[in-house]
Structure 1
Amino acid sequence: MIQYSLRCAEGHSYDAWFKSAAAYDEQKARGIVLCAICGGRSVEKAMMAPAVARKDSERVSLSAAHPEAAKVREFLRQYRQKVVNEADYVGDKFAEEARKIHFEEVAPRGIYGEATKDEVAALVDEGVEFLPLPDVGEEN
């Protein structure tokens, strides 16, 4: 997995994870890399600081004080509510149903549910596209 800092044409900055650098390039070429804040399609990699290993175990919060944090949390709450309201809940059958949709064995539809870490890894390896459903509480 690789993490990129991205910026859209509207100036929104956010981080996103990709399976590999090639996966980012492929998704960008297909036009499916969208701004996580406004949904815009004009997204580019932003300048990034290198990851430096820490020698102590101190935790550092890098995003809680960001000026856009409240907007991002609200966007994620609205996104979650839209999925819950409009998609089918498939429970622990998520991986199975996602595969059926991906391989066009059933009609495409929005779904959400649960999957184990192993199921998630297998879906990624198989190229099944999905997003984690954010669980954003009222306070964090």
Structure 2
Amino acid sequence: MIRFSLNCEQGHEFDAWFRSSDDYETQRKRGFVECPECGSSKVDKALMAPAVSTTRKKEKIALALGEAQRQAMAQLKTLTEKMRENADYVGDKFAEEARKIHFGEKEARGIYGEATPEEARGLVEDGVEFMPIPVFPDEHN
């Protein structure tokens, strides 16, 4: 599917989706593409910039959060930081260490680290209690 930005002869701007560019042309020539505002079938494609993913786009998404979401995100980030402060980082040995603690081979303590999806499934199958810790966008920089 392709989304086109369109203009009618009255200058109204709107978007429409088509299977292909040829599909748009066929529908336009047959008068099937109409302006939703005035009903005109004299419609042309507007000049469009390509959709490019940029850092600025990500910033716009972050800024689109409402105040309640920003507060919840800040609380979640604070909670995550507290969990990390009160636990030992075990890196990619997380599954191995969690299993040893679960089965009493090591003293119980809080740990955090990384696990592959397969390792996480194995922990669940073994009855090991754990939870993913959120990673926040600014933690990747």
TM-score norm. by structure 1 comes to 0.49
Structure 1 or 2: more helix by fraction = 2
Bigger RCO of structures 1 and 2 (CA < 8 A, at least 6 apart) = 1
**Higher Cα Rg, which structure:** 2
